[in-house]
Structure 1
């Protein structure tokens, strides 16, 4: 594995292990996660949760091809402390938002579990691949982390063995989140068994063993390139093929023009009910925390 320019933060890196029929994505978010979190004054548990969601969004979104392809990940519950967590990825542009009960959250302590935050919630993962093609999988929010829930999604909805590792580091001057996603792909040659029907395939067991050695500190080490990280894990393989991915940035697709188009579809009576005492219709974007005064 040889690369001229190494990748450190806010850019995806893909790599494959041809001899093991495996593909991977690895990412470290720095500016992106800071920019998304800056839209709201989130408490520490929500900061951690949303940081993990952004990493997962980048890893899974990075599996798609095409600038118009979009991934949306939404965790939701009717009776949990966090009522909504949403993150989406489109062509390297990301955004995310969490809605929660601040008073109930304060009663959970410093490190609440996923079940404490969501109760009996669910995770919906939606892939829009362009040309009107859209598919979605919904799984229970079970496990210790969002990453485990995403692993369940891939196994149940796509029958693709998947391992995901996520880490984050927060402090007064630092906000970094990173992760690794690696999958065992189906062997499509005619007459041969499709690998995804065997979660105990020896090649996959080997890949899991090696990938699981990655540490929290390695993932969030901003001085360690993502290429070096992949090489540390799999330098004994016959070949590691590196595939540079998209540059990542925060980007909200909200605009006054967009909201005006949406509101214009409502009957006049409903538009009147939306106006404030000064006769204005003002829409707040939850993602970027901006208010738009509409000219309608």
Structure 2
């Protein structure tokens, strides 16, 4: 029998999954640094938007890691009609992350340095869309954009829309060396990770209460501590449990999927008369990618 070396511990840029079988709990952790900087570098965002988008990317990575099928995609949209942030959108597919924010800079500046979630969006909504591979369809859940943070709004989504007891914690830090963000998602299924009966009326389940107290003790500085592996952090939280299974998940990357070929395929679906109207004085159709802030001239 060949001995296989134990996988290296996860510090950043990769999902860490874990389960606590005796408590019927699953969890995910992630820490982003260089990947986050690569995504944020496409736009010169003000600090409040940098913080918001960093948290959104962490949450999208965590939620995306719950999809088991290769090629599945999750898209997160936070949108409003009356707030300074008009649209926040992120998606994750096979570990490839991307995201951007559209906002009114003048109105944003009026909010000061640390605007609340309500200040940024006003009365908005949060939508999560899950696209399954091979044409197996999609499903979407929409909830009000409520709470003190985007992480709390995500937590409300899983409790209200998915009807799964969920605890989410996030942390974001910006400094001279760039932006770092991290997060943890913990969920309870009464019959194991797949689950059957939902616990939407059983949030006082003793197993869930126990795990929620332990998981809720995590501190922001622990999530962001680059010298502390995520494996060690799981152990620190749950070392008294009889068994904790750890799974080293997908490696994350900046994943804008724009290309000339992609946009040619999209534009080819439009009637010729509509493509004529899109062309500029040089006969080119210029497509701007909001995610990576690049322009693609198409001669279709």
Residue pair 1:166, 1:178 contacting (<8 A) in 2 also: yes
Q: Which runs of 5+ in 2 are unaligned?
A: none
Q: Which runs of 5+ in 1 are unaligned?
A: none
1:182 & 1:85 partners in 2: Cα distance?
24
1:195 & 1:145 partners in 2: Cα distance?
24
Task: Please name the residue that 2:216 is paired with.
Answer: 212
Task: Please name the residue that 1:272 is paired with.
Answer: 276
Cα distance change on mapping 1:193 and 1:103 into 2, 3 Å: closer
Q: How far apart are residue 32 of structure 1 and its match?
A: 1.2
1:256 & 1:232 partners in 2: Cα distance?
48
Which of these residues, 186, 191, 210, is aligned with residue 187 of structure 1?
191
1:216 & 1:177 partners in 2: Cα distance?
10
Look up the SS of the partner of 2:139 in the other structure.
strand
2:174 & 2:49 partners in 1: Cα distance?
12
Which of these residues, 151, 154, 163, is aligned with residue 155 of structure 2?
151
Task: Please name the residue that 2:114 is paired with.
Answer: 111
2:274 & 2:94 partners in 1: Cα distance?
35
Calculate the aligned-residue CA RMSD, in Å. 1.6
1:47 & 1:139 partners in 2: Cα distance?
23
Task: Please name the residue that 1:82 is paired with.
Answer: 85
Structure 1 residues 73-97: Cα deviation after superposition (integer angstroms, max 9, x where no partner): 0101111101100000101111001
- TM-score (ref. length: structure 2): 0.94
Look up the SS of the partner of 1:51 in the other structure.
helix
Task: Please name the residue that 2:238 is paired with.
Answer: 234
Q: How far apart are residue 3 of structure 1 and its match?
A: 5.3
Q: How far apart are residue 171 of structure 1 and its match?
A: 0.7
**Number of matched pairs:** 292
Task: Please name the residue that 2:66 is paired with.
Answer: 63
- TM-score (ref. length: structure 1): 0.95
Residue pair 1:186, 1:196 contacting (<8 A) in 2 also: no
Look up the SS of the partner of 1:276 in the other structure.
coil
Residue pair 1:83, 1:99 contacting (<8 A) in 2 also: yes
Moved over 6 A (4+): none
The 10-residue stretch of structure 1 (46-55 or 125-134) with the greater mean CA deviation from structure 2: 125-134
